[in-house]
Amino acid sequence: MPMPETARHPIREVPTEALSRHTGMVIHATTILAVRHQDRTCLAGDGQVTFGTTVLKHGARKIRRLYNESILAGFAGSAADSFALFSRFESKLEQYRGNLERAAVELARDWRTDRLLRRLEAMMIVADRTSTFLLSGTGDLIEPDDGIVAVGSGGPYAMAAARALARHSTLDARQIAEEAMSIAADVCIYTNSRITVEEL
């Protein structure tokens, strides 16, 4: 679906409720959660890597700090494809001097139009202190309304838990991310409790 042009960049503002149906594809073996709350931004990911019905790895790191550690990025999907996307996104950040919004827009555009990139089976969440974006292989660029978004097979559980905790508790962003990921790990068989959290 093409993204509407705005005065600055073509970003679609989509309600968080629509995130679970943005691509129609289900990516197993991963839960990545972004929480922006009370002026803090956290990105959390579990460590499980699953091949079919077999758990191959328990402590994988699916989150990175980019551009002088000022931007967080996490991936769901094929590891090789995700590393290729990380590399491309880092290049965009360098090109646009750390402007997260512009870099995300340009990566989404390339992902939608480039024949090789379109074959990559992965999704990304990228965030800085003020913005959070989800990028998909269909060229979608989604900015959640409330700063909370998740991808992967445990994503819906983690996102629902994080939204409830943000609304009805006094926990900070990191605590919300850790508790929500723990709940997702209890529910989703493709998610474990070896959680990595990065914070800005």
The helix/strand/coil state of 134 is: strand
CA distances from 179 to 6, 97, 165 (A): 37, 34, 8
Residue located via tokens 């990065």 = 198
Please tell me the distance from the alpha carbon of residue 184 to that of residue 186, in angstroms, as a whole number. 5
* Whole-number Å distance between alpha carbons of 4 and 156: 26
What residue spans of the chain are helical by DSSP H? Answer: 79-95, 100-113, 155-168, 173-187
* Residue numbers annotated as active site: 30
